Amino acid sequence: MRPERFGRTDKSGNPFEIGIGCAEDLPPLLGMYRTFCPKPASQGLPPEDPVTCQNWVERLFRIGLNALAWRGDRVIGHVVLISDGKKKSGEIVIFVDQNHRNLGVGTELARFAMEKFGPLGFELIWLTVRVSNFQAIKLYTKVGFEFCDMDSYERVMAIKLSFNVAQPGTGQPILRTFRGLVEIKG
């Protein structure tokens, strides 16, 4: 059974869907990575070699929490949260198909990941981003990530998470970050 998908609208007014990835989604996800440009985009990822790329994607599905963005039957974005093993912290990685960038798909994937994966007990989600990737830095800052380390090539950004039991009057859980409150849709 396929996980539920949730409708979203991009900045140009076109609909797309976001949901948890499952094994049935591997072929369309591999299709996105086959045509992904530039390759590699960051830190050698996604891998250029098709076999290495397939092994990488399959491994992400085994070890991480995956969510995808679709337009019709085509995967247009992928976010994965890789746990430290204790589910106290995790690294998040987001890739958006080059034909769907700058439309808010990456922002929606990041928000969806925090809504769905944050309540699993993660206290900290972190990432690394190239210092020259201004679009990604803008996206991560917009959803609450802050800089915590830097070298001449990469910046480390993180967001601290904690959850209150429920928002008064609604019963909705609340995600607290150091940027304020974000309501988590139950």
What pLDDT is stored for residue 92 in this prediction? 95
What pLDDT is stored for residue 101 in this prediction? 93
Phi then psi for residue 182, to 5 deg, are -130, 125
What pLDDT is stored for residue 171 in this prediction? 56
- DSSP letter for 121, please: T
Distances (CA, A) of 178 to 66, 143, 161, 181: 25, 11, 8, 8
Share above pLDDT 90 across residues of the chain, in percent, rounded to a whole number:
60
Round the average pLDDT of the chain to a whole number and report it. Answer: 85
Using an 8 Å Cβ cutoff, are 87 and 122 in contact? yes
Q: Any bridge partners for residue 7, and if so which?
A: 17
- For the structural domain made of 5-183, what CATH number should be given? 3.40.630.30
